[in-house]
């Protein structure tokens, strides 16, 4: 008789990283507190107020959709990391696609200090470039922390251009346009604006029809 036992498949080996960087604990803590003390009461209030109105199913659907998105962000926030092994750099972001880049491709690093609407509120950013100057990945200190960026720089051990003079986020995007995330693209702003207009217009139409019908 033949062997009736099923062959046991070997489990894939997990990658052993020399350096692992996680998102800042304060970022995780502030995100949780913001959702618990701001988003949840607001969502409950919106659903409660809309119950007597004919548009409560729409409001409830929007609240549920937003809740699902928040849940996805929480999962990504809990599993996000930067891992460096002898051959590659793995970047698992919060709202950006996962990336795995060979360390041999990282030719230069750029450390810059950027600011948004207020010059006093600055943040460091790290951009990795290949030998042709093409963008490989970008890390923000407000997500990974200053110490996390320093650890990545030290582990990669390539040339670093450190510009200590703060530049605006717009100027930084102009210098390195390929480093902009999907939510920083002009197309994303247009799409989000159009969706907001459609939602508001739909709610006004529903509300108007409800008032007219009463």
Q: What is the pLDDT of residues 137-171, one digit of tens each?
A: 999 998 999 999 999 999 999 999 887 788 888 88
- Reported as a single tens digit per residue, the pLDDT across 32-50 is 777 777 777 777 777 777 7
Check residue 193 and give its pLDDT: 66
Which residues lie closer than 8 Å to 80 by C-beta, 6 or more apart?
22, 23, 92, 93, 94
Q: State the DSSP string of 30-62.
A: HHHHHIIIIIHHHHHHHHHHHTTSTTHHHHHHH
Interatomic CA distance for residues 69 and 190, integer angstroms: 20
Residues 150 and 139: beta-carbon distance below 8 Å: no
* pLDDT over 70 (residue 14): no
Strands 19-21 and 88-92: unpaired
Residues 54 and 210: beta-carbon distance below 8 Å: yes
Asked whether the whole model's pTM tops 0.75, one would answer no
Check residue 8 and give its pLDDT: 41
Residues 167/171/177/182 CA torsion (nearest 10 deg) = 80
Interatomic CA distance for residues 189 and 208, integer angstroms: 28
* pLDDT over 50 (residue 4): no
Check residue 3 and give its pLDDT: 41
What are the strands of the beta sheet with 99-102, ordered from one edge?
A: 19-21, 81-84, 88-92, 99-102
* pLDDT over 80 (residue 203): no
Check residue 122 and give its pLDDT: 87
């Amino acid at each position: 008789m033949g062997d009736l036992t099923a062959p046991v498949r070997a489990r894939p080996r997990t990658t052993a990283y020399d350096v692992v960087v996680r998102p800042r604990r304060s970022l995780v803590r502030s995100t949780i507190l913001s959702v618990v003390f701001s988003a949840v009461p607001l969502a409950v209030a919106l659903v409660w107020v809309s119950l007597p109105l004919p548009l409560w199913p729409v409001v409830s659907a929007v609240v549920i959709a937003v809740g699902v998105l928040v849940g996805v962000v929480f999962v990504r926030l809990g599993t996000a990391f930067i891992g460096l092994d002898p051959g590659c750099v793995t970047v698992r972001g919060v709202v950006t696609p996962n990336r795995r880049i060979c360390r041999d491709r990282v030719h230069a690093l750029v450390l810059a200090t950027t600011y948004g609407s207020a010059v006093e509120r600055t943040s460091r950013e790290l951009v990795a470039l290949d030998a042709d100057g093409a963008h490989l990945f970008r890390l923000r200190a407000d997500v990974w922390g200053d110490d996390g960026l320093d650890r990545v720089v030290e582990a990669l051990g390539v040339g670093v251009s450190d510009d200590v003079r703060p530049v605006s986020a717009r100027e930084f995007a102009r210098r390195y346009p390929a480093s902009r995330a999907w939510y920083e693209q002009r197309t994303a702003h247009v799409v989000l604006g159009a969706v907001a207009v459609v939602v508001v217009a739909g709610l006004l139409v529903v509300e108007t029809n409800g008032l007219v019908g009463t």
